[in-house]
Structure 1
Amino acid sequence: MFMKVDSSSDERLFAQLAASIRADAAAGRLRPGDRLPSARDVAESLGVNVHTVLHAYQELRDEGLIELRRGRGAVVTEAAAPLAALHADIEALVAKAKALGLSPETLAACVRETAHDSC
C-alpha cells in the first residue's frame, strides 16, 4: 500500500490521504480484513502530524470503509468490495472524459452532481 500526499496542493492533507486509501480500495490493493498501518507509522513516513492521519482514518470510518478497533488499529470493511467492483467502470469513464478533453476537476464535478441528483 502506497499512501501519498502533496503538500503543495490546495486540498487538505487528511482529505488527500483518505482519497489515497479509497483509491487503493477501488483498485483492489486493499481488501476487506486488511489492516492499515498505524497512524503513527503513516505520519512518520509522510512527514505529517499524527492527527492528520487520524482525521483521515476517522473520515473513512464515518464512510464505513474502515473500522477502528482498539488494539487492532484500522481494518478495511466489506465496503471495500463494491469499490473494487466499480474500478473498471471508473477507468472507462476517465478514459472517455480524457478523450472528450474534460479536465479531472470537471469530471469530478459531473460525478458529484449526478450522484447528488440520484440520491
Structure 2
Amino acid sequence: MLVRVDPSSPEPLFAQLAAAVRGAIARGELTAGQRLPGARDLAESLGLNIHTVLRGYQLLRDEGLVELRRGRGAVVTAQAGDGLARLRATVHELVDQAQRLGFTSDELTHMIRTEYR
C-alpha cells in the first residue's frame, strides 16, 4: 500500500492518511485481516508525527474499517469490504437508471464528474 500526503494541502494530514487507506481498501489493495503498517514506521517513512498517524488510524477505527489491536496494530475489518460491494451495487443501479432514461455513457460520466467536484 502506497500512502502519500501533501503537507501544503488544506486537508489535515491525518485525514489524508485515512483517505489513502480508504482508497486502498476500495481498490482491493487491502483486504479483511490485513495489517496496516505500524504507526511508528509509517510516521517515520512519511515524515509525520506518530500522533498524526494514530489519529488517522483512530478515524478509520471509528468508521469501522480497521480494528486497533494492542500489540498487533491496525487490522482491516471484514466490514471494510462491504463498502466496496455497496458502491459497486450503487454504480450498477445508477447505470441501469441512466440507461432507462436514455443517457449515454458520456453524459453519465460528465454528470458524475460534475458532482464529484
TM-score band (shorter)?
A: 0.7 to 0.9
Residue 71 to residue 24, structure 1, CA distance change in 2 (3 Å):
same
| Residues 95-104 or 74-83, more deviating | 95-104
- Cα shift at 1:87: 5.3
Residues 38-76 of structure 1: CA deviation (Å, up to 9, x unaligned): 001110111111100000000111111100001111000
Q: In structure 2, do the counterparts of structure 1 residues 34 and 98 end up closer, same or farther at CA, with 3 Å as the change threshold?
A: same
1:38 match: 38
2:15 aligned partner, one-letter code = A
Normalising by the residue count of structure 2, what TM-score does the alignment of the two structures yield?
0.77
Name the count of aligned residue pairs.
103
Question: Which amino acid counterpart does residue 71 of structure 2 have in structure 1?
Answer: G
Larger Rg: 2
Give per-residue Cα distances to partners, 1:5-59, cap 9 Å, x unaligned: 1111000000000011001001111100000000011101111111000000001
Does 2:9 correspond to 1:9?
yes
C-alpha separation between the residues in 2 aligned to 1:17 and 1:69?
Answer: 19
Note the residue ranges of structure 2 that are not aligned, 5 or more in a row.
Answer: 96-105
The equivalent residue for 2:99 is: none
**Aligned residue in 2 for 1:99:** 110
The structure-2 alpha-carbon separation of the partners of 1:85 and 1:96, relative to structure 1 and needing over 3 Å to count, comes to farther
Percentage of matched positions with identical amino acids: 53
Contact 1:27 1:87 in 2 (8 A): no
Gaps of 5+ in 1: 106-119
Name the SS for the 1:102 alignment partner.
Answer: helix
Matching of residue 19 in structure 1 with residue 31 in structure 2: no
- Between the aligned partners of 2:76 and 2:107, the Cα distance in structure 1 is 30
The answer to whether structure 1 residue 52 and structure 2 residue 52 are counterparts is yes
The two structures have a TM-score, normalised by structure 1, of: 0.75
Residue type matched to 2:61 in 1? R
What amino acid maps onto 2:75 in structure 1?
Answer: V
